[in-house]
A and B are shown apart, each in its own frame.
Chain A
Amino acid sequence: MLTNTKDIQQVMKVVGTSPVRPDGVPKVTGQAQYGADYSLPGMLWAKVLRSPHAHARILSVDTSKALALSGVKSIILGSDFPEHPFDYVGPERVAQNYWHMTRNIMAREKALFEGHAIAAVAATTAAIAAEAVSLIDVKYEVLPHCIDVEDAMLPDAPLLFEDMITRGVEPAPSKPSNISKRLEFSTGDIAAGFASADEVVEMSFKTAAVHQGYIEPHSCLARYGADGQCELWSASQGHFVVRAYTAKLVGMEIGNLLVHPAEIGGGFGGKTVVYVEPMAVLLSRKTGLPVKIMMGREDVFKSTGPTSGSSMTVKIGVKKDGTIVAAEGLFKFQAGAFPGSPVMNATMCAFAPYIIPNVKSVGFDVVSNRPKSAAYRAPGSPISAFAVESVLDILAKKIGMDPLKLRLKNAVKAGSPTAWGPKHSHDGYAETIQVLLDHPGYQKPLGKNQGRGVASGFWFNGGGESTASVHINEDGTVVIATGSMDVGGSRASMALMAAETLGVPYESVRSTVADTASIGYNHVTGGSRVTYATGIAVVEACNKVIEDLRLRASLMWDTDIKNVVWSDGYAKPVDPSVGNFEPLSLKAIAGKRAVTGGPIGYEASTNAGGQAPGFSTQFVDVEVDPETGHVKILQFVAAQDVGRAIHRDYCAGQIVGGVVQGIGWALNEEYIYDSKGRLSNAGFLDYRIPVASDLPMIEAVLVEVPNPSHPFGVKGVGEANIVPPMAAIANAIENAIGRRMTELPMSPPRVLAAIDAG
């Protein structure tokens, strides 16, 4: 008797399979429209003038020659955007300060990084816009700059903001600095903890800034009408968030801005913020014509948020039997030109997989003359994990314990404490370790210059606001809509959950992403939240529909609603005493919808909670070439607790994708700056992400420990997989050649230098 979806959790018909996704054919035929694929009649093209200096006062901007160029319709500067008061608003971990944000969109008093937008031109062709950009005359007073986080923290470092006083320090410092914030999470007694340890290891690490590396540059098309209504086509990870930021930055009401979700060519966190949208909207308002902006690849590297580079020191103490008794971490993160690095996440995630009674985790958020950092897949956690998981490896060797078993011994589960306060609420971590201990690859013999390394990682995963609507078409097929951008196949997962809940075939459910005027609010597609939170909204909407279908059937049978059950996609009498009624399909009921109350459809919204964090444990085998320092990946096995895999192939795809980004982060990727603070490698040739010939097949192992708070047991899968790879590879290199790499990336020249250093 199925009146409640929780009953069907045991026997899944469609959830857990791997059907083709609804946006699949458009994407393999080139028909899918991404941010740069839209045009409108009369459209103008916009190009952006960007600072060639890492740090400079803007003395004057002369646009007269550019404006005189035939075909140029409008030029905007930072001063054309409304000013905002200096105020941190919103959650501390990701506080927004619109005074900073408007300046990140376009500079005002100073250029704070090479690539900082100074002006934007809209013209009838892209070529004219580009020529106009070259005719804008800017007078700069070049200032000394700082790039590296340690340099930015020095007492005599050039200041980006002459009035920046470090927050989180009591008493507040009297002098300004580049340190935006200090934060700390502690528990227990660190000194006593280390005193009780048998082995203590302390080590320092450095990581470079890396870019999310999405293949699609930021692009959008804006059409602002004389009636104050604006439409925006934008590739982002959250069109509602784009609407909110853009409206505020341009000075318009949210309700007057309609954002269409273009397909997105990768985001990984970097497209949860806006860069080009406010410029396009403002230019469209001024010209009365649609305006299209597409960023070039060089601008993407120079002007959009990579993640932070860092300088870290981690100290961990263990007993001979492997019990971790104390852990201390100092994490200094570069935020880029404006505050807001993910250092708080890093300080919280660093020791989160382990039960440790004495912890002190301190973080610094530091500004320097490089683009403002943006979220990158489990922001902050992969960076601190590089340090922590490396130190654990050294300790495991010192006490002669297998590194997976060391982790298993201290693994958190439901009820275990955290350093920042509340208990852990879910199991799943230990299972990811065990599955690797049992994996045949873990026992595979290794040859000369080969080594194996392991690491684990933790990420919070998100819940939050989502809305979904479900409608039954006249022919009994189903259309569902959410406001969650689809980056990796979530339309298919929503359809699977709807099909399972309603009891109908997957093929009868059409799954779409609706624009901001057609569905209620949805938070970003990020934080591994969509299958979880939007899934909950979809299931709730389906449940509402089911209740209505029962009512319609009861009207059709002229009986009480309590005599009708919904089972396997049909309305059925609860037992034969109700009457000799044939089961009613969606099609049959839809056919009678007019006389039973009209169209059948419901919307459900949620502010979802109860999500479970992500744990991933991984091992990797490498071979190091002693003559070149090149590191080859021989075998990579990544286990992650996904709760329940709604679409198995897409879950595995997330794990493999995150691991490969981690491999790039570990072995090659970094921002390289010259002595003038300019980026030397602002292109895919020299910012080298992994290519197919670098890699073997990566093995993803899906561990399923269901989350009872979700109707299907889902745990977010997108992010935790990028947390371990860098440390796992560093540990493998150490096993291969006996050298401990403490700086990322572990590129061939660095590995070679470590080998030669003896």
Chain B
Amino acid sequence: MQAEIAATPVKAVKVAFTAGFSRRYTDSIREFDVQAKNIRGVIRAMNDLFPGLGETLEEETSIAIDGVIHEVDYTQPVKPGSEVFFIPRIEGG
């Protein structure tokens, strides 16, 4: 008899955008819940919802993962329940 493996629900990753970005690219919706283990997964999930968005996210944004700023990097891990905020990319002088 096969043991039943109860699937523990994995907490979603919250994906968020600025108001201006969401108005332009995500029908003004600012927050989404997705399942993903890393940034590649986040981008794939968002691209599934809005085809073409993935490339925009890669080219034009940086991310803040629970507030800590990172470049968009596929391999960057994301823990369940964390917040991934896409923000305008930073340049200095």
Which residues on A are within 8 Å of B, measured CB to CB? Answer: 89-95, 168, 170, 183-186, 212, 268-270, 272, 344, 348, 374-379, 414-415, 420-425, 459-465, 526-529, 607-611, 709, 718-719
Shortest CB distance B76–A (Å): 7
7 closest cross-chain pairs (CB), A and B: A269-B93, A527-B92, A609-B70, A375-B93, A91-B89, A422-B64, A425-B67
A184 adjacent to B19 (CB under 8 Å): yes
Shortest CB distance B1–A (Å): 44
A609 adjacent to B68 (CB under 8 Å): yes
* Interface residues in B, total, Cβ within 8 A: 30
B contact residues around A90 at 8 Å (CB): 59-60, 89
B4 contacts the other chain (Cβ, under 8 Å)? no
B contact residues around A93 at 8 Å (CB): 88-91
A527 adjacent to B19 (CB under 8 Å): no
B92 adjacent to A526 (CB under 8 Å): yes
A contact residues around B21 at 8 Å (CB): 92
B59 adjacent to A609 (CB under 8 Å): no
Distance of A464 Cα from B89 Cα, bound (Å) = 10
User: What 0/1 pattern do residues 16 to 28 of B give for CB contact below 8 A with A?
Assistant: 1111110100000
A185 adjacent to B69 (CB under 8 Å): no
A contact residues around B66 at 8 Å (CB): 422-423, 425
User: What 0/1 pattern do residues 33 to 76 of B give for CB contact below 8 A with A?
Assistant: 00000000000000000000000000111111011111101001
Given the known A-B contacts A422-B16, A463-B70, A610-B70, are A92 and B93 also in contact in the complex, defined by CB atoms under 8 Å? no
Distance of A461 Cα from B91 Cα, bound (Å) = 8
B18 adjacent to A420 (CB under 8 Å): yes
B93 adjacent to A268 (CB under 8 Å): yes
- Complex: chain B residue closest to A344, CB-CB: B88
Which residues on B are within 8 Å of A, measured CB to CB? Answer: 16-21, 23, 59-64, 66-71, 73, 76, 83, 85, 87-93
B contact residues around A186 at 8 Å (CB): 19
Among candidates A212, A420, A462, residue contacting B91 with C-beta atoms closer than 8 Å: A462
B93 adjacent to A91 (CB under 8 Å): no
Given the known A-B contacts A186-B19, A425-B69, A609-B76, are A462 and B93 also in contact in the complex, defined by CB atoms under 8 Å? no
With A89-B59, A425-B67 given, name 9 new contacts (CB 8 A): A91-B61, A268-B93, A378-B92, A421-B87, A422-B66, A423-B66, A526-B92, A608-B71, A709-B68
Distance of A643 Cα from B66 Cα, bound (Å) = 20
B contact residues around A414 at 8 Å (CB): 67
Jot down 24 A-B pairs with beta carbons below 8 A, ordered by A. Answer: A91-B89, A91-B91, A92-B60, A93-B91, A95-B60, A168-B20, A183-B20, A272-B91, A375-B91, A422-B16, A422-B83, A422-B87, A423-B67, A423-B83, A425-B67, A425-B68, A459-B92, A460-B92, A462-B92, A527-B91, A609-B62, A609-B68, A611-B69, A718-B92
B contact residues around A463 at 8 Å (CB): 69-71
A420 adjacent to B87 (CB under 8 Å): yes
Given the known A-B contacts A168-B20, A377-B93, are A424 and B67 also in contact in the complex, defined by CB atoms under 8 Å? yes
Among candidates B16, B68, B92, residue contacting A269 with C-beta atoms closer than 8 Å: B92
- Complex: chain B residue closest to A271, CB-CB: B93
Distance of A734 Cα from B18 Cα, bound (Å) = 37
Distance of A557 Cα from B87 Cα, bound (Å) = 52
Distance of A529 Cα from B62 Cα, bound (Å) = 15
Distance of A270 Cα from B73 Cα, bound (Å) = 28
A contact residues around B93 at 8 Å (CB): 212, 268-270, 272, 374-379, 526-527, 719
Given the known A-B contacts A92-B60, A93-B90, are A415 and B18 also in contact in the complex, defined by CB atoms under 8 Å? no
B contact residues around A610 at 8 Å (CB): 68-70
B contact residues around A184 at 8 Å (CB): 19-20
Given the known A-B contacts A89-B59, A90-B59, A170-B23, are A529 and B92 also in contact in the complex, defined by CB atoms under 8 Å? yes
B contact residues around A719 at 8 Å (CB): 92-93
Among candidates A185, A378, A379, A421, residue contacting B64 with C-beta atoms closer than 8 Å: A421
A contact residues around B67 at 8 Å (CB): 414-415, 422-425
Among candidates B60, B85, B92, residue contacting A379 with C-beta atoms closer than 8 Å: B92
Shortest CB distance A420–B (Å): 5
